[in-house]
Structure 1
């Protein structure tokens, strides 16, 4: 395996890479500075958008003109050409210290994402599922800092972490409905110096 530098940037908090297979483009975000980046594989062309809010995560629309953004103040559809954000939902107005955080798209096109307490103290975060044209659904709650959503290769198990607690959870995932059930601890990360990972039989 060869690791090479694609482009020399120094973001405040660069994360959330997405590879667009159709257009051969790499997308990623600067979460803290509120910037969105797109770099084409065969050119030196780098496009940058300043969305003027902290970004938790993003997803691509198939039309290539818009992206879905989990921002500090809610979930938005962002028009890349017009540089304009349209609010889809502000799910937590009752928690002014919360913001939306990490998210990923499941095998059926749903955007599954979480929220977090920006002070990383209170378990006021939730896990959400968004499907276009339908109401936002709460899948779980009692989370301090949501992170790392992903699925097993067949999509039947959903994995999700609460960074602050060090727990990685596994859920049974219904691809047809997007429902989660049977939450259990998949692994626990010892957060002390020189800590280890304890795996559970899931």
Structure 2
């Protein structure tokens, strides 16, 4: 049976449910969870590379964890489930900090119309013991200042590292779009926990 999602009006009142395929075919407003994973002792960010078999944006780089909230499911429950399914990390609710909600710009490409509100969380952890699920090809690490240069200064390419420490380059067009979420919610949080962080977004 196809996954069912709650759908909302622009005031975020729930107005019913719909199958996931219809939600993305018609651009029905729905909710998702996003979890950004940040180092505890140093300003690094962890990301995933989406599996080659993904229907949407295969092989693209994306935030550490993201997924739909099922019909009737609470965001705090959905994010723990998605983190486990995608990264293999088994978390307790108290390990996450919720940064708030973000209404993403609409994304419309042939065959895919996405209108969503993200419930945004942060996990602070050094060297997480990732065990990626089938939807994730691998996890990678990026210095926070380098990621800021892409998100806030429009850098067209940045350096990343595998979890084994091997450096490689990722171009801007290899990343999934989450326009504005980092600047609105994640960067201000990073500045609080890592006041030494320097970026044009200051």
TM-score, length-scaled by structure 1: 0.28
Bigger Rg, which one: 1
Structure with greater proportional helix content: 2
Structure with greater proportional strand content: 1
